[in-house]
Every structure is written in structure tokens, then in C-alpha cells.
Structure 1
Amino acid sequence: MDEHVTWRWLRRPLPLLRRLAVKPAGQLRTAKTWQVTTGSAAVGLAVAAVAVTAAGPWDSSGQRTAERRSAASQEAGGGADHLGFPGSGGPGAAPSAPAVLAGLGAPARAKPGGKALSDVLEPVLKDRALGPERSAVVVDVASGKRLYGERAGDALTPASTTKIATAVAALSAVGPDHRLSTRTVLEPGSREVVLVGGGDPTLTARKDGRYVTGFASLRDLADDTARALKKRGTKGRVTLSYDTSRYAGPAQHPIGPNENITPVSSLMADEGRLDDSTSGPAPRSTDPAADAARKFADLLRERGVDVKGDPGPAKASARAGKLARTSSPALSVLVERMLTHSDNDIAEALARETARASGERPSFAGGSKAIRARLKKLDLPLAGAKFADGSGLDRADRLSGDLLAALLARAADRDHPELRSVVTGLPVAGFTGTLVDRYPKGSPGTGLVRAKTGTLTGVNALAGTVVTADGRLLAFAFMTTGTTDAVGAQAALDAMASATAACGCTP
């Protein structure tokens, strides 16, 4: 995919989106609806504009040019789901755009009707760019009623929309306030310090930059460990080992070495990235635990600790004395970051944490079993579903539109506040994450659609929530397999979401 594809894509859906445009705000039914849909959108636009302006040198799409080209080239090579990632110094993950979230707390002025939705969705669903297999589902969140369904129960390859299922399973298994802790211990009667991995891929060794403040810091852990050793009176040289026993099974994802994911380990720093990126494709470490341990050894030396040689693998004993620890943000924050940036490393860590909490082996296979079991407990439609991993990179994954829409509706349900970050973490059309540059200016979906993208070669999906012209919150899932025109397929899916946003949804 060359660097001009993005601009061709931006032009293609414009004629269709013009036909789907909403009426001017003054023509909507009530002043209250106008305030929800138009006033909220204006606030969202203002917030986003300030964030982008403060972020530094961005191009006209809201993304650093070099990063967009890198993401596009990776898409062509392996179909990675990383188009449109902001880079270091960009806006924070999952801003609370008022227009997108209006439907979460505001009552609808009118009940949606399936007839109106079919009128606007079916013409777009016929777009040839969507390939031979396509599925579309729209659900009213307030009632749980399916408003539209086309092959709704067919299990298709979901790509990165799999992360929605992973997020719901992890939040239900360990809770939104759970934190992942990386710690150091001292083996009794020795000078062996052990760095124990706690499953946190967002642990950072960086001094500053994006995703440093508020996240677990290897530097802070080195500060606290050095102080603890001094307090214990440990003198002379120490050895450093590292413990990755929290996770089991193969570390390498079935797709093989890939710039979209680091070998899965309970110990890594900055997701094993070998550059200064925080999202999207990047050169990756082949042994992230060893690399993290070497960085930690250097940090200890900078703090006056005499560390002997290179660290090696070991398992901390139950008798080891506590030295220090550093903890990730709450799991809800990790879920938001994962969904906003389609972060595969976080996804696979959350799958393993779900396995641990469910009594399964913390591996690819154990994570898959645990995710399915958790979703079954939530009484979600699992017919045909297959979970081969937590990230959606595996083409063996299968989910139905019914399941994706049900997951989103459950996450938006007031009776399940523990799942709310699944909704707030979804990219906002035209503003954040994988949707930052997929919605043209003036599109009726901009600022109103919040959705997770799914992209592999020949596979395109979009699943999320939308606030309609009536202020109604709907959950949708649009999936297609066998596409040969990825740009055209994305444009058609985005047009479907925009059409749902523009729809009055009255009987």
C-alpha cells in the first residue's frame, strides 16, 4: 500500500456520505436533541482540536506523516490492524468525547425502528468492495432488541474486533481496578536479586514521553530496589535474575515473528519495542524478558548497586524477601489503551490474566478457554465462536456479528459498570486511535461513532456504538471476509456506521 492510498480513500466515500448527511441541527425534533447531538459534537471537536494542537508536529490527518507511512507499509505486508495511530506525544487514549457518550446517560426521544435502518443500511451493504461474505447487526442498547440483522449469526474472521471479547472477559474475570505488579525480591542467605515479571506489557524503562506518567516504571523500581538493598545492609556484588514463570506455553504468536507483536512474556519493558514508538508496528525484541532484565541491571548500576555480569532466568522462591514493586494503572485503563490503539501485546497479556483468574493455564490455549468460559457466564451468544488468541491476529478466530453487538450492548449496560471501559476505550471517529483519519471532515459519523476496527488481508470489520440523530445509543457490528479492496471495504463499513448515526430510527 503506497503513501497515497489514504488520500484516495478519503475521497471515495464522500459522494455516498453526502447522500447520508443529517439534516441541519435546527431541523431536528427538539431543542434537547439538538443539544445532545450538535452541542456535544462541538465540544468534542474543540477538545480534540486542543489535544492535537498541543501534541506537536502532526500532518493534516491528525497523525505524524512518518508513522502513517510506516503503518500503511505494514498493512500491505501483513494486514496489521494499525492504520491511524498517533505517535509519541499525541493525545491521550480514549478521550471522553461528549457526543459519543451522550447516549450512555441520556434517554432517547424516540424508539428506533428496524425499517428505517434497513432502508439506509442495505444499499451500502451491497457495495462490491465488501467481498463475498458480509454480516451486519445493529442492536438497541436500551432494550437489547436487534434492529437489523444480515447473516447476524454467521461466525466470520473478526480480526482485531476480537479484542472486544478479550476486554469483556478480562474485566469480568479480574475486575476493572486490578493492577499488574512487577517486583523485586532477595533470595535468603544470598545476594541474588530476582526481577519478577507480573504480566505488565506497559512497564516502561523510559524517562519521559508518552505513556510514562501514571504507568509502571522500571526506573522507579530500580530506585526503590537500590534503597531497599541499602537499608538491608547488603554489601558487595549482587547478581540479578529474572522470573517469567507467571505465564506458560509458547511465547511466539502462531503468526510467527512480526512487528505487530512481541513474543508473549510476563516480563517486558515498553512492549519489547526497539524504537521509541508506543503503538503500531515496530521492530521487536526476540527475548523481551532478557532485554528488560539487562535494562534493569544498568539502572541499578546507575544507582550505585554493583551488579555482577548479565542477568539470567530463574524462579523466585517462596522464601525470597520483598524488596520493591511497581504497578500498572487499573485494568480499565489498560483496556482503553488496548482498544484505542489495537494493542496486541496488551490483548495477549489480558487473555493470560483471564486464564489465571479462571483456573486455566496462562497460555494461548488457556486464554482462549478462559475467554469463552467468561463470556458463557455472561450469557452471550457463542454459537460458532472460536477464540484462537486474545488479539485477533490469528485467522482461526471466529466471531459472529450477534456476539460482537451483544458484547458492546452488555458493556454499555448500566447494570455492568465494571465493563464500561470497553465502550470508553473504543476509537472515536475522526479523533482517536485507528479511526483518527478514517472519517472525512463533515461526515455524519465524525464524533458520533465509537468503534473497534478489524483488519487483516482480505478481512475488514467494524464494531462499536453510535449515537443516532435521536440521541439513541445503538451497538453495531459490520464484518466482511474475502475483500480484495481494503480501502474500499473500510470506506463502505465507515459509511454504514455514518448511515446509522444519521438515521432518525423512527418507525
Structure 2
Amino acid sequence: MSEQPTDPTRPSEPTRPSETTKRPGAARLPGAARVSGATGLSGALAGLRAAIARKPVPWAVGGLAAVLVLGSGGAVAVATAMTSPSSTPVAAASASASSGTASATASPSVTPTPTVAPRTKPADAPGPSAIRTCSIAGPASAAGLGEFEGYVMNATTGEQLFSRKGDTAAQTGSVMKTLTTATALAVLGAGHTIPTTVTDEGNGVIAIVGHGDATLSAGGATVYPGAPTLGQLAAQVKAKLGDTPVTTIVTDDSYWDDADAWDPTWPVSERTIGYQPEVTALMVDGDRANPGAATSPRSEDPVGRAGAAFRSALANAGVVGAGNAQIVKRATTSQTTIAQVDSQPVSTLIGQMIPNSDNTLAEMLARISSRVSGANGSAASLTGVYQKALATYGVDPSGIVIKDGSGESAANAVSPDFVAHLMVPVAAGANGLGTLAQALPVAGQSGTLSSRFTGANAVARGKVHAKTGWIDSANTLGGYIDAADGTKLTFAFYAIGSSRAAALPALDAVTAAAYSCGNKLSGN
């Protein structure tokens, strides 16, 4: 590779002055003369005065004198840098247009004074991690817990504090009602009401159309204070029809298909004892034989019972012919509504469902949520409906399996850690979930926890807000804890396979232990 030719017209590079050698112990500036003692100082000043007298203009314009005195009798350094007021350029030009040279003398460069970079302030060191030495291993190993699954987390930081098979999906019992509530709030909203309507098909035929309001009352005693009544519907029908006779009453529960009104995994005793009705879109008083008793035997035909009660209400309201009208079960053929009553808001229904663990309301809210979300209201649709709704709270519901809204089925599958994570926004009252937080039973004070947490476990009374669960194969508890150290914990504990008599005190004990540990709870 050939070298580049030299350009004869390019000015020569200025000569770079050599750097001044630094002596140990003294900082020597370029052009500086080092002088010691008083004699040197006076001599230096005299020399400066003489120089200024000889050439005042250069000193005034371009001169610089610096005197640095280091302590009494110390060394004095005098630095001067002078620039000539004028210079005589040297130039030569050739008469020939084809060639020419020019030269210039460059001024020596001045070495700049080094700049010291500012000292960097170190970042604050991270705070110490919590020392967790408090164990609940003993209570968590109690025989009364059977095959135990549990999970506890710090609701503020999101840290897992304890897990014993916490990520294993299992039957939830009525802890499922917290998921049902959260789903209903996401899909329906706290202010949603459930209608029951009456349509006029003409020729003496009217239809009562249910949309899932199990609180609709025959008008006597009820476990749902403030519920709408059949008497209110009948009065509206009378006002609309006047003296027109009614010959046929249609009962329409087609809002969802009642072919799956009873889950095959539910024990029949749940109906005969009175914990669970057939899940139909039309019923009165939750299909209870005794409307004023929470636990009361249910029938095998809630729709037929509702039709008979409505016929009596119409007759009592003076509707002509109603007392002898026939009752036919089918979907109405009319869109002409002549009467309507509405349930209380969903927020009120949640307040009636959660503290008393009402299975009927849970199943209704589940099916209605399915229909309103665009699904068909079937039990088979619930997993997808719940997953979509619960994801709006920032949790991952991908692994849950939902067979019903009440938690009665042992085929439901939800892990304790999912429940604990869902309880984080519940405890904070975020995203409308304050409705659920306010409804949760409180240890030793309200709902299904009013008589729980006794003896040594009484330390946690008033501090545990949780939903209880009970089916033949499991007893469960899930919610949040205002711990002794002020930490808010969320948790879920499942006691699977043990008797209820053994499980309840064991669940209370492990929960009370978590309360006492607070944020010092270790995973051991």
C-alpha cells in the first residue's frame, strides 16, 4: 500500500512544547519560577515592578502574574505568561500562479489546569431483609388437618411467607364463594339487580318469568330481609288486567337450561336436609319448606312450587279466575311485560350470602354471571366465566376448575396460593372488592366464625377475616389476617380428609399461629 503524498501547500504542524517535569513534593506550573523565603519574594516583586515599568502595555493587556504564598515564611511560586503585543509575520509569494508556499509560526499551546471531577455520592445501601424466625410448622402438622395444604403471603410486599402444597389445586368447600363473589362483582357490578317479570300472552294466559332471583318471597317470613314479593307482582297484574280473567299461568325458567339443576357430585342429603336447592331460574324463598329458616328441606320441583305460590298471590290480589287457573311450565311466547319486581342489589345479596354461607345465592350469582357475560348459564360454562372475570383482578386463574358457585362439589379445584393472591385486592378493598371484604366473617365476632377461635386461639379474635368451607371431604378457611405486628397477611388453609370436629380447632390454631408470627413467619 503506497503512502499518501505530502501536500506542499499545507501549513506545517506547530511544535508541541514538552511537558514540564514534576518534582516530588512541589507542584510546578508551566513557566513558573520557584522562590523561597522573604528575600526571594521581595526580589520577585521588584523584578515584576521593573518589567511593568519598561513595558506597561503588554503587561496590562497580555501579562499574568500569580503569587502563591504557602503559610508564613513558606515557599512562593511566581508564574508568568506573557504574550507579545505584536508579531512580524514571515511570508513569501511566488509570481508564478502555478506554485506558492506559505509559512506561519504557531504560538505555543498552554497546558490547561486539570479539573478535578466531583466526588460521586454512593447510592443508599438497601435496607436489611426481614429476619424470619417464627415457625408454624407445629400447628401445620397437627393430625386434625388431615392432608394439609396451606399458603400465607404478605399482602403488601407480595412475598410468600409459608407454603405447604400451596400450589396444589384441590376442593375448596365454601371458600369457593369468595371466587363467586369476585366474579359477580366483575361481571354484574355491585349495583346490579335481578328482575322477575310477568308477561301477557293474551286470551287469559300470563307468564311469570324468572331470571335467577332466589330471594323472591311468597310474602311471609324470609331469610332475605327486603326481598321483593309475589304480592307486589300480583298487585301490578291486577292493576293492568282489571277484570280480565286469567285462565292459565305459565312458569318460565328458561333463562338457563334446568337440565343441570343438580350437580351429580352433590350428596342428595344437601337438598333433603336443606342446604341446597335445585338450581333453577325461577323459585321463591330459595325453595325452602320453611321460608324463615336458613336450613330447611328443599323440593324436587322449585318451579312448580313457585307457580303455586304465584297463583295464590294473584287470587289474593283479586285477579279474576286466578284461583282456578292451570299452571304450565314452558318459555313464554310474549314480550309484553305487565309487571316486574327486582331483587336488592348484588352488594346486598353478597352481604346475605357470605356471612351465612348461603349456597342458594352462590349458585344463582354464578349462573347469572354466566348469562350476563355471554355464556349460556350452564354449570359447564363456569370455569371459563370465572377465569375471564378473575383475571381482571391481576391474578392468574388459568389452573382453576369450577363445577359450581357454592363449593359443594369435591370436583372443584383451586389452589391455596390462588385464594391468597385473590385476597390481596380484597384486603385492600381494590377494584370494588371492598364489598367482599366487608362481608367476610370475623373470628369470634360474626358469621360462620362467630363461635370460632376459642381458648389459646382467642388471641386472633377480631383479627381474622375469612370465609369458612365445609363439605364431607374437606374443611377450609381463606381470607386475610391483621397480624400482631401490624402486617396484613392473606392466606388459605385446607384440611382434607379429616373430621370436622378435628379440623376446625386445628385450622383455628394454625391461623392464630400465623397471626402471632406476622411478617416474621418463616416457611419452615
The two structures have a TM-score, normalised by structure 1, of 0.71
Counterpart position of 1:242: 251
Distance (whole Å) between structure 1 residues aligned to residue 518 and residue 385 of structure 2: 40
Contact 2:148 2:496 in 1 (8 A): yes
- The alignment status of 1:197 with 2:210, answered yes or no, reads yes
SS at match of 1:372: helix
Deviation per CA, 1:388-418: give whole Å up to 9, x if none.
11111111111101111111112233441x2
SS at match of 1:155: coil
Which piece of structure 1 moves more, 270-279 or 295-304?
A: 270-279
Which piece of structure 1 moves more, 254-263 or 268-277?
A: 254-263
Q: Rg bigger for which structure?
A: 2
Distance (whole Å) between structure 2 residues aligned to residue 152 and residue 351 of structure 1: 26
Counterpart position of 1:253: 263
Deviation per CA, 1:117-169: give whole Å up to 9, x if none.
x52x22210111111x2122122223333222222111121111111111111
The AA in structure 1 aligned to 2:215 is: T
Q: CA deviation at 1:246?
A: 0.5
- The alignment status of 1:223 with 2:240, answered yes or no, reads no
Counterpart position of 1:490: 504
Contact 1:294 1:310 in 2 (8 A): no
Distance (whole Å) between structure 1 residues aligned to residue 291 and residue 197 of structure 2: 24
Tell me which of the two structures has the higher relative contact order, counting C-alpha pairs closer than 8 angstroms and 6 or more residues apart: 1
SS at match of 1:325: strand
Q: CA deviation at 1:432?
A: 2.5
Q: 1:441 to 1:192 in 2, by over 3 A?
A: farther
Q: CA deviation at 1:381?
A: 3.2
Distance (whole Å) between structure 1 residues aligned to residue 429 and residue 435 of structure 2: 12
Query: Within 5 A, what are the aligned runs for 1:156-175?
Result: 156-175=170-189
1:139 aligns with one of 150, 153, 171: 153
Distance (whole Å) between structure 2 residues aligned to residue 114 and residue 268 of structure 1: 56
Contact 1:112 1:506 in 2 (8 A): no
Counterpart position of 1:26: none
Query: Within 5 A, what are the aligned runs for 1:11-90?
Result: none
Contact 2:186 2:392 in 1 (8 A): no
Contact 2:220 2:291 in 1 (8 A): no
Distance (whole Å) between structure 1 residues aligned to residue 326 and residue 450 of structure 2: 43
SS at match of 2:132: helix
Counterpart position of 2:439: 425
Q: CA deviation at 1:208?
A: 4.1
The structure in which a higher percent of residues are helix is 1
- The alignment status of 1:445 with 2:460, answered yes or no, reads yes
Distance (whole Å) between structure 2 residues aligned to residue 180 and residue 140 of structure 1: 37
Distance (whole Å) between structure 1 residues aligned to residue 223 and residue 407 of structure 2: 25
Q: CA deviation at 1:113?
A: 5.3
Query: Within 5 A, what are the aligned runs for 1:82-481?
Result: 115=132, 118-119=134-135, 121-131=136-146, 133-187=147-201, 189-208=202-221, 210-212=223-225, 214-230=226-242, 234-248=243-257, 249-254=259-264, 255=266, 257=268, 258=271, 259-280=274-295, 282-305=296-319, 306-307=321-322, 308-317=324-333, 319-382=334-397, 384-416=399-431, 418-440=432-454, 443-481=458-496
SS at match of 2:368: helix
Distance (whole Å) between structure 2 residues aligned to residue 401 and residue 383 of structure 1: 14
Q: CA deviation at 1:211?
A: 2.2
Contact 1:112 1:140 in 2 (8 A): no
Counterpart position of 1:63: none
SS at match of 2:325: strand
Q: 1:461 to 1:236 in 2, by over 3 A?
A: closer
- Identity among equivalent pairs (%): 30
Counterpart position of 2:106: none
Q: 1:292 to 1:503 in 2, by over 3 A?
A: same
SS at match of 1:236: coil
The AA in structure 2 aligned to 1:115 is: R
Distance (whole Å) between structure 2 residues aligned to residue 112 and residue 348 of structure 1: 45
SS at match of 2:459: coil
Q: 1:191 to 1:309 in 2, by over 3 A?
A: closer
Distance (whole Å) between structure 2 residues aligned to residue 376 and residue 419 of structure 1: 14
Q: 1:347 to 1:436 in 2, by over 3 A?
A: same
Q: 1:438 to 1:113 in 2, by over 3 A?
A: farther
The AA in structure 1 aligned to 2:160 is: R
Distance (whole Å) between structure 1 residues aligned to residue 179 and residue 209 of structure 2: 28
Q: How many residues align?
A: 385
Counterpart position of 1:89: none
Q: 1:325 to 1:456 in 2, by over 3 A?
A: same
Contact 1:268 1:292 in 2 (8 A): yes
Contact 2:144 2:506 in 1 (8 A): yes
Q: 1:489 to 1:415 in 2, by over 3 A?
A: closer
Contact 1:444 1:499 in 2 (8 A): no
Contact 2:205 2:246 in 1 (8 A): no
Structure 1: segments with no counterpart, 5+ residues: 1-110
Deviation per CA, 1:439-488: give whole Å up to 9, x if none.
327811222212111112231111011212233322111112222x3212
Query: What is the Cα-based RMSD across aligned positions, in Å?
Result: 2.3
SS at match of 1:399: coil
Contact 2:154 2:519 in 1 (8 A): no
Contact 2:196 2:340 in 1 (8 A): yes
Contact 1:201 1:349 in 2 (8 A): yes
Deviation per CA, 1:299-334: give whole Å up to 9, x if none.
1101111213332113223x4322121111111221
Contact 2:216 2:228 in 1 (8 A): yes
Counterpart position of 1:76: none
Counterpart position of 1:94: none
Q: CA deviation at 1:210?
A: 4.3
Which piece of structure 1 moves more, 138-147 or 474-483?
A: 138-147
The AA in structure 1 aligned to 2:145 is: L
The AA in structure 1 aligned to 2:207 is: V
Contact 2:222 2:292 in 1 (8 A): no
Q: 1:146 to 1:336 in 2, by over 3 A?
A: farther
Structure 2: segments with no counterpart, 5+ residues: 1-127
The AA in structure 2 aligned to 1:270 is: D
The AA in structure 1 aligned to 2:504 is: Q
